[in-house]
A and B are shown apart, each in its own frame.
Chain A
């Protein structure tokens, strides 16, 4: 069996409160995610699922425990090595899209390539190709504010794919979208998982969104309440 893509061991995250006190957010989490999985992390507001996501995305660091990504213990890495992981191994998709509004769609998608040191022509070609893949080949010269929410999220997904990462992390990717657009975005994720073999971890609080995944990790109050196939936890297809 190949080693897991993600290995989380006794992961703890606490936040400082006041001068010396701390508030625990994540309590000794343990799980692994293999390459090729499509995992949904569900939980109510304040359950710590976004904190977990930020740690998985190397945007935040755990207070205790280990997070091993692709065979590397992230605790041993410096800021630049973490930046390299965010750049090449992980593609992050945010609820609020987080596109740079003054740049064109094409430049936004090409930005991770720029930080990877890819030359201009190659950047442009790759950005165009990615935008075509997400169905926005005709919008390369537009700026994000000129696009609809669904289109902006597609741009963000194209950006996440720029450096061919192993892992896509999506934090409430459909939170700002209507039901119809949400379905389209989720279909895009499913396609990427099925056709490209991309590992996708997404955070949501909507069962309908989670149902697109294969596995579901249910986080409640910083503990893992349930972990298993989506159908077993959520039951049969509804609505």
Chain B
């Protein structure tokens, strides 16, 4: 019985192809928009969470702060106030999992005929742990390299591409400031940071090597910044408080005096960014849903016209023994087919649009099964909801009146 009613519905739709197609268009646009917008929204979210993951989790960055000399405040980063011993002290805090001091500067790296200016960061092996950054080939340097200030270097992907092309850099020697450095490892790519910088355009050397041999630090033991990783995200607020207290004590800052360092909670920044993209994603979805609603109203409109136009046909069907539910089901099925077929085509177009946005527009898009399921469920609900009223109107016609209708 259901199968034959389905056939009846299809036949009725085939009888008025242009109208069925136009009604379907409303659903196609609605579902297409929802799928595409959700793909873009989720793409943005994925991009942000990728950037967060690439940064490392539960991260603090402690920057050298401003000093005040004779009432003149010098601004952030002007005075080298952080030392390697500060870093060691931070590492002993119970909330901190690992800590890495860093001293970086820009220098020219030369390999054969190629050269490339990049950031050279002197740090300890803990840095790779803090940033959750692993080599794709070779290894990173060790604590003993830091102790003996060996001339080894770990390269980021961008540096490798600019200096070596397709060659394997591990075991080769590059020159930095006229000193030869042995390339011991190449890091995995990290991509862009949240603020759009290329995180791979960097290289690392042991901290002591940078301080003593490359940049001739006037204050021995000074570092530019310290990265610290908390044990867990719950421990972040406590860790931040302990950090500040510790450094104030160590730097002999009296109560009421300004800090001579700055502690930044990178995870909090990242979460703000994630929240923003989530809001954007929800808004895109909401706007697209409006078109789905408009499509549904289009279905109702056409079905009402169709019921009026086919009143006589309904009368004939009732006269030869169709029950109300037969008529109801037939019109409901028609609405459902229009909305489901529309959503199928719409989902395909949404896919295609997402693919185009990704390949031509260079956008990150994520099409999830969930977004398609949602679009289908909503489409079916729209079909039933907006199809029910016209269908019931048809089913409740009185046979004699329907037959007399001209």
Q: Do A and B come from one complex?
A: yes
Taking the complex as formed, is B400 at the interface, i.e. its CB lies under 8 A from any CB of chain A?
Answer: yes
Given the complex of chains A and B, what is the CA–CA distance between A120 and B312 in angstroms?
25
> How far does the alpha carbon of A54 sit from the alpha carbon of B400 in the complex, in Å?
7
**Do residues A115 and B400 form an inter-chain contact, with CB atoms below 8 A?**
no
- Which residues in B have their C-beta under 8 angstroms from that of A117? 1
- Comparing A86-94, A128-136, A217-225, the segment that makes contact with chain B is A86-94
Query: How many Å from the CB of B203 to the closest CB on chain A?
Result: 76
Q: Given A102-B11, A103-B11 in contact, is the A79-B403 Cβ separation under 8 Å?
A: no
How many angstroms from the CA of A116 to the CA of B325 in the assembled complex? 13
Identify which of A111, A116, A163 contacts B317 (C-beta below 8 A). Answer: A111
Separation in Å of the B380 CB from the closest CB of chain A? 25
Contact present for A83 and B1 (CB under 8 Å) = no
What is the minimal beta-carbon distance from B97 to any residue of chain A, in angstroms? 71
Beyond A102-B11, A102-B15, is A79–B323 a contact (Cβ under 8 Å)? yes
Is B403 within 8 A of A84, CB to CB?
A: no
Q: Which of B15, B312, B322 contacts A83 (CB 8 A)?
A: B322
Least Cβ–Cβ distance between B7 and chain A, in angstroms: 9
| CA of A83 to CA of B398, assembled, Å | 11
Would B321 and A98 count as touching, CB distance under 8 A? no
User: Does B4 lie at the interface of the complex (its beta carbon under 8 Å from any beta carbon of A)?
Assistant: yes
B188 on the A face (CB < 8 A) = no
Contact among A80, A87, A98, A163 with B403 in the assembled complex (CB-CB below 8 Å): A98
B-facing mask of A193-207, CB < 8 A → 1, else 0?
Answer: 000000000000000
Q: Does chain A have a CB within 8 A of B156?
A: no
B321 to A115, Cβ gap below 8 A? yes
Q: How far is the CA of A88 from the CA of B320 in the complex (A)?
A: 9
In the complex with contacts A98-B316, A100-B316, A102-B11, A115-B322 CB distance below 8 A: yes
Q: Does B80 contact A (CB under 8 A)?
A: no
* Contact A115 B323, CB 8 Å, known A54-B400, A59-B399, A100-B316: yes
Complex: A134 Cα to B370 Cα, angstroms: 58
Chain A residues positioned under 8 Å from B325 (CB to CB)? 80
Chain A residues within 8 Å of B318, by CB: 59, 83, 86
On whether the beta carbons of A115 and B326 are closer than 8 Å, the reply is yes
Rounded to whole angstroms, the CA-CA distance of A80 and B324 in the bound complex is 7
Q: Is the CB of A84 within 8 A of B321?
A: yes
Q: Say whether, besides A102-B11, A103-B11, A114-B4, A59 and B320 are in contact (CB < 8 Å).
A: no
| CA gap between A54 and B323 in the complex, in Å | 17
Would you call A116 and B319 a contact (CB within 8 A)? no
How many residue pairs, one in A and one in B, have C-beta atoms under 8 Å apart? 62
Count of residues in A whose CB is under 8 Å from the partner chain:
27
Decide yes or no: A59 and B326 within 8 Å by CB, A100-B313, A114-B4, A117-B1 being known contacts. Answer: no
A80 touches B323 (CB 8 A): yes
Interface centre among B312, B315, B323 (most CB of A within 10 A): B323
Residue in A54, A79, A102, A159 whose CB lies within 8 Å of B320:
A159
Judge if A122 is at the interface, Cβ distance under 8 Å.
Answer: no
- In the complex the two chains form, is A112's CB within 8 Å of B320's CB? yes
Which residues of chain B are near A54, meaning CB under 8 Å?
Answer: 400
- Give A235 to B322 CA distance when docked, in angstroms: 42
Please state if B321 and A59 are interface contacts (CB–CB under 8 Å).
Answer: no
Docked pose: A87 CA to B320 CA in angstroms: 5
Contacts A102-B11, A114-B4; is A83 near B321 (CB within 8 Å)? yes
Nearest chain A CB to B330 CB, angstrom units:
11
Q: Which of B4, B319, B320 has the most CB of A within 10 A?
A: B320
Within 8 A of A (CB), among B8-39: 11, 15
> Inside 8 A of A10's CB, which chain B residues have their CB?
none
- For B323, the chain A residues whose CB sits under 8 A away are 79-80, 83-84, 115
Complex interface: chain A residues within 8 A of B322 (CB): 83, 87, 115
Residues from 62 to 101 in A contacting B, C-beta threshold 8 Å: 79-80, 83-84, 86-88, 92, 94, 98-100
A104-127 CB mask vs B (1 if < 8 Å, else 0) is 000000011011110010000000
Q: Are A60 and B321 in contact (CB under 8 A)?
A: no
Contact with A along B297-332 (1 / 0, CB 8 A): 000000000000000110111111111111000000
Q: Are B403 and A59 in contact (CB-based, < 8 A)?
A: yes
Measured in the bound complex, the distance between the Cα atoms of B129 and A20 in whole Å is: 90
| A173 at interface by CB-CB < 8 Å | no
Interface residue? A150 (CB, 8 A): no
Is A57 an interface position by the 8 A CB rule?
yes
- Cβ of B1: which chain A residues have Cβ within 8 Å of it? 114, 117
In the bound assembly, the distance between CA atoms of A159 and B318 in angstroms comes to: 14
Residue of B nearest to A82 (CB): B399
The reply to whether A92 and B15 form a contact with Cβ atoms under 8 Å apart is: no
A120 lies within 8 A of B4 (CB): yes
A72–B317 Cα distance when bound, in Å, is 23
* Contact A112 B321, CB 8 Å, known A54-B400, A103-B11: yes
Q: List 22 A-B contacts (CB under 8 A).
A: A54-B400, A57-B319, A59-B318, A59-B399, A59-B400, A59-B403, A79-B324, A80-B323, A83-B318, A83-B321, A83-B323, A84-B321, A86-B320, A87-B322, A88-B321, A92-B320, A111-B320, A112-B320, A114-B1, A115-B323, A115-B326, A163-B321
List residues of chain A with CB under 8 Å of any chain B CB. 54, 57, 59-60, 79-80, 83-84, 86-88, 92, 94, 98-100, 102-103, 111-112, 114-117, 120, 159, 163
**Nearest 3 pairs of A and B residues by beta carbon:** A87-B321, A60-B400, A83-B323
